[in-house]
Amino acid sequence: MDDEGFLFVADRIKDMIISGGENIYSAEVEKVLSMHPAVSQCAVIGVPDEHWGERVHAVIVIKPGAFATPAELDAHCRAHIAGYKVPRGYDIRTEPLPLSGIGKILKNRLRDVLWDK
């Protein structure tokens, strides 16, 4: 936050998604998704899209015993962020996301798998 009270969202430039000319910070979308009661872990990445350049895609790990559909996750996101930031696709899984030695999610591994589809 600056001296005038403006809040700036910062994220790694490589984690910024540019979809249809709009800059989307993955951290902002991840924060919203992590507020959903069924979400244990999440990562948001950009995947190639012929029309938009990139599209927002979320990889979600569901808590044991919990359940969430893409439609439920969409509704949750739409209640908290602008529509163009809402993921256009979801991978919902139960196994943990790949982590580095210091506990950061290895988004490059997720990108590699999704970009090859």
The structural domains of the chain, ordered by start, are 13-115 (3.30.300.30)
Given this model, what pLDDT does residue 12 score? 56
Give the model's pLDDT for residue 11: 47
| C-alpha triplet 82, 88, 98: angle, nearest 5° | 105
**pTM of structure:** 0.84
pLDDT of 111: 85
Alpha helices, H only, 1-117: 26-34, 70-78, 107-115
- Find residue 56's DSSP bridge partners: 46
Indicate the residue type of 110. Answer: L
Per-residue confidence (pLDDT) for residue 113, from 0 to 100: 78
Q: Cα separation of 84 and 23, whole Å?
A: 10
Predicted pLDDT of residue 97? 95
Environment class of residue 102 by beta-carbon count within 10 Å: exposed (0-12), middle (13-18) or buried (19+)? Answer: exposed
At residue 114, the pLDDT reads: 72
The residues of the chain scoring below 50 in pLDDT are 10-11
